[in-house]
Amino acid sequence: MKLRLFTDMERCTPEEVQRLLPLVSDQRREEALRFKHTFGQFACLISYLLLHQLLEEQQVVGPDEPLHFVTNAHGKPRLSGHEGAHFSISHCREAIAAATDSQPVGVDVERFINPSNSLLRYCMNDSEADEVRQSPHPDRAFALLWTQKEAIAKQRGTGIQDDIKRLRADCPSQVQVESALHATFALSTAVLDPGGSSTVLNTL
């Protein structure tokens, strides 16, 4: 698995969005401009560029080849014309991530928040909720568990469904889930065959 992580969020400005728009495909440009707020536009553009950078380095696409996305029945995107190239992207207010692999892969980033009891009841089983409540840093514990669930769901290609409380418990043993805590956010990945993995920060 190869991973790109972008954390220079001070670059999220209208001026930077305008600079980035010509660097992406027509499809991605239209998608970015559908967002009303600068952050949505910025994240849409940066995630595309991170993914293109990874695929170009792996010689999946050429430097000037646009990426065209199609989605499955659950809304998971894939690359048209490159069905063997699996990827996942994620963003939050603190980071933007893209991951690629030869097998289905999932990545998720989430900033730290203190979860309400209603949120815990909604998305965590009893054991997980107790883990968050008993943690000296419940914001970090919640983000770690949530990103693991999201990464597993993305790897499966089904998205978050009714089994949200059992996503981690039902994760097949052949799927390896790895997590990391950064200063202000958590990151998790899920992949069938991890092989060699690498992370590069802020290369754009």
Query: Once rounded to an integer, what is the mean pLDDT over residues 70-88?
Result: 87
At the topology level, CATH places domain 2-195 in Ribosomal Protein L22; Chain A (3.90.470)
CB atoms within 10 A of CB 144: 21
29: helix, strand or coil: helix
**Which has more confidence, 39 or 75?**
39
Task: Reply yes or no on whether the pLDDT at 201 is more than 90.
Answer: no
Q: What is the mean pLDDT of the chain?
A: 92
- Report DSSP letters for 94-112, one per residue: S-EEEEEESS-EEEEEEE-
Q: Which amino acid is at 64?
A: D
Residues 109/77/172/142 CA torsion (nearest 10 deg): 20
What is the value of pTM for the model shown? Answer: 0.91
Per-residue confidence band for 195, with pLDDT thresholds at 50, 70 and 90: low
Cβ neighbours for 56, distance < 8 A, ≥ 6 positions apart = 62, 63
Which pLDDT score, from 0 to 100, does residue 192 have? Answer: 86
How do residues 129-176 score in pLDDT, each as one tens digit?
A: 999 999 999 999 999 999 999 999 999 987 766 689 999 999 988 999
Q: Any idea where the domains of the chain sit in the sequence?
A: 2-195
Averaged pLDDT for residues 42-60: 97
**Residues near 68 by beta carbon (within 8 Å), at least 6 away in sequence:** 25, 27, 79, 80, 81
State the pLDDT at residue 183. Answer: 95
